[in-house]
Amino acid sequence: MKLQERDNSPINKILVIMPTYNERENLEGIVPKIISQDSRINMLIVDDNSPDGTGLIADKFAKENSRIKVIHRKGKLGLGSAYVLGFRYSLENRFDLTFTMDADFSHPVDKLPEMISTVEQGYDLVIGSRWVEGGGTVNWPRNRERLSQTASKYTRIVTGLPVKDTTAGFQAFRKRVLENIEIDGMKSDGYSFQIETKFKVWRNGFRLKEIPIIFKDRVIGVSKLSKRIIFEAFFIVWWLRISSIFSKV
C-alpha cells in the first residue's frame, strides 16, 4: 500500500450532506448554525419522507437560501444510501470537500472550521473522533460508550485500520477520495458504512486524521439505531479483511 502524494489543492466549495428522518426541530436549529460557520459551505439535506414534516422545513430553507438543496426520497431507505446519493451529488457538482453530518446536534457544529483547516493542511479524510485524546461523549449511557469503543477496537484488530473511532459519522472527505473509493459499490448501512468508508480511504493510501470532538447524545427526537445495524457491523469487518486479501478493496 503506497501513501498518496499530499493534495494541497485549494478548498473553494464545501458540501455538508445531512440525511434526515424525523428531525424537524433539530433541522430548524442546526441549518443556520452550519451555514454561518464558513461562506464556502453549502448543504444537501436528504430527507426520506419523514412523517413529522422535516422535508417541509428543508424545503423552506432551500427556498430562502440558494446554498441549501434538498433531495426527497419516497421512504426510509437508510443512512448509507443517503450518503451515497450525497457523494454522487457532490462529485457531479464539483465540491472540493464533503462532510457527512447528523442532524441531531451530536456532531459539534463549531468544529467545522477546524476540520476544514485540517484538510487544508494536506489531509484527505478528517474524522471527528470521540476516542482520541480530548474527545469524548456527553450524556451517553455507559453501555453505548462501551459498545462504541469495543466496536472500534474489534475493527482495528480485524482489519488493521489505524483509526481510534471507526464508527465516527462526522467526517470530511476531499474530492479525490470520493473519486477513488467506488462509492456506488457501497452497500452497507449505519455503522458498517462508517467503517467501510474509512477502510477504503486508508487502503487507497489517502491521508487520514482524527481530531477530537465531544459527541452529545441527542436531546430531541428518537434514535434510529437498530440491532441489525450492530449485527451487520460485526460481519462487515471480516468481509473487508477478506476482500482486501484478494485486493478487491
Ligand X SMILES: Nc1nc2c(ncn2[C@@H]2O[C@H](COP(=O)(O)OP(=O)(O)OP(=O)(O)O)[C@@H](O)[C@H]2O)c(=O)[nH]1
- Site residues for ligand X, 32-51, by CB under 6 A, read 46-48
Burial class of residue 208 in the structure, from the number of CB atoms within 10 Å of its CB (0-12 exposed, 13-18 middle, 19+ buried): middle
- Site residues for Mg ion, 77-136, by CB under 5 A, read 102, 104, 106
Number of other CB atoms surrounding residue 196 within 10 Å: 23
Contacting residue, 31, 57, 58, 103, with ligand X by CB under 6 A: 103
Contacting residue, 145, 224, 234, 241, with ligand X by CB under 6 A: 224
Closest CA to 124 of 95, 154, 162, 98: 98
Distances (CA, A) of 20 to 4, 34, 84, 92, 108: 34, 15, 14, 21, 17
Query: Of these partners, Mg ion, ligand X, none, which one is at the site of residue 20 (CB under 5 to 8 Å by kind)?
Result: ligand X
Query: Of these partners, Mg ion, ligand X, none, which one is at the site of residue 157 (CB under 5 to 8 Å by kind)?
Result: none
Closest CA to 97 of 79, 110, 81, 113: 113
Query: Who's near 168: CB < 8 A, 6+ residues apart?
Result: 127, 128, 129, 130, 194, 198, 210
CB of 1 to ligand X, least distance (A): 30
- Cell of residue 45, nine digits: 439535506
CB of 18 to ligand X, least distance (A): 6
Contacting residue, 56, 219, 225, 242, with ligand X by CB under 6 A: 225
55 binds ligand X (CB under 6 A): no
Query: Who's near 235: CB < 8 A, 6+ residues apart?
Result: none
Residue 226, φ and ψ in degrees, nearest 5: -125, 165
- For 95: left if phi > 0, alpha if psi spans -120 to 50, otherwise beta; the answer is beta
Query: Of these partners, ligand X, Mg ion, none, which one is at the site of residue 79 (CB under 5 to 8 Å by kind)?
Result: ligand X
219 binds ligand X (CB under 6 A): no
82 binds ligand X (CB under 6 A): yes
Applying CB under 6 A, the site for ligand X has a residue count of 20
87 binds ligand X (CB under 6 A): no
Query: Of these partners, Mg ion, ligand X, none, which one is at the site of residue 151 (CB under 5 to 8 Å by kind)?
Result: none
CB of 213 to ligand X, least distance (A): 13
Q: Which stretch binds ligand X (CB under 6 A): 14-22, 114-122, 197-205, 239-247?
A: 14-22
Q: Which stretch binds ligand X (CB under 6 A): 76-84, 111-119, 180-188, 236-244?
A: 76-84
Residues near ligand X (CB under 6 A) are 19-21, 23, 46-48, 76-79, 82, 102-104, 106, 218, 223-225
Residues near Mg ion (CB under 5 A) are 102, 104, 106
